[in-house]
Amino acid sequence: MNTVFDLPPSESPKISPEMELQETYLQVSGLSLSLSGQEILREVSIELTENGITMLVGPSGAGKSSLLRCINLLHQDWTGDIEIDGYDIRQWPHGADALRRRVGLINQKPAVFPCSIHDNVIFGLRGKERSALPDGLVEQCLRQAALWDEVKDRLYGAAEILSIGQQQRLCIARALALSPSMLMLDEPTSSLDPRSKQLIEISLSKLAERIPVLCVSHDMEQARRMGGNIIFMCNGRVIEEAPAAMFFSQPQRLETREYLRWTVCECD
């Protein structure tokens, strides 16, 4: 195999049986974050206790991306507690890189590397994971990301010539190759063609049967379609959290009702 990148040996944390049995995948408690003297997150508490999709919605500037960045230790100067699989993420074995392998984060703008489609999928694999690549892993990840049929005849072709929608699905496949225990996506479809958007929604729904998926979206129709749970954030706070059917039919908070009606929010 002609791989372009020679990465150091695996630094995956050793997961003890007790950790595997934890029922709470993600627990965020009293999370506050200030950047440049501005309060960005204020006492945010959320919990993902089972597989399924959770849509994180709210106006621009609400703090949605900042929350995901804290969970992935891309921001580190927060206060409060974040636990994944019962583990304080600040004490994560082998540090932030190992955590990010366990909890994939996909951004709005796909980041593909200047190598083949195949090598992009296995980009994060290291050492033995890469040299003893399980049969069919690349196909399996590409299938789960709803991209296989479009690229199966050109796996060793350049990834950079794929459409943006295909590149985004490739990023999902790359995250899946690391067997994440949870997937986070930050507006993954906001700049995509309708077909890619639909394929990603289908792919995420299937993935959410196996792992918790936390997905930011400003598209309320998408949030409604995806179902699952909705967390509504505004101005750095969680305003309301409810199953999608309830959230859209019987919003409890005035701020939520206003947001659903006008897609803007006046809370402070």
Ligand X SMILES: Nc1ncnc2c1ncn2[C@@H]1O[C@H](COP(=O)(O)OP(=O)(O)O)[C@@H](O)[C@H]1O
For Mg ion, the binding residues (CB under 5 A) are 65
Euclidean distance between the first and the last CA atom of the chain, given in angstroms as a whole number: 55
Which residue, 62 or 177, has its beta carbon nearer to ligand X?
A: 62
Q: Which amino acid is at 249?
A: S
Q: Is 37 in the site for ligand X (CB under 6 A)?
A: no
Q: Is 40 in the site for ligand X (CB under 6 A)?
A: yes
User: How far is the CA of 187 from the CAs of 70, 128, 213, in angstroms?
Assistant: 16, 33, 13
Distance CA 24, CA 182 (A): 11
Q: Is 206 exposed, middle or buried (0-12, 13-18, 19+ CB in 10 A)?
A: middle
Q: Is 62 in the site for ligand X (CB under 6 A)?
A: yes
Residue 30 interaction partner, one of Mg ion, ligand X, none, beta carbon < 5-8 Å per kind:
none
Q: Is 64 in the site for ligand X (CB under 6 A)?
A: yes
Give the range of 9-17, 61-69, 108-116, 168-176 binding ligand X by CB under 6 A: 61-69
Q: Is 91 in the site for ligand X (CB under 6 A)?
A: no
Q: Is 66 in the site for ligand X (CB under 6 A)?
A: yes
Q: Is 217 in the site for ligand X (CB under 6 A)?
A: no
Q: Considering the complex, what minimum distance in angstroms separates the CB of residue 190 from ligand X?
A: 11
Task: Tell me the three state secondary structure of residue 28.
Answer: strand
Binding residues for ligand X, rule: CB under 6 A, are 35-36, 38, 40, 58, 60-66
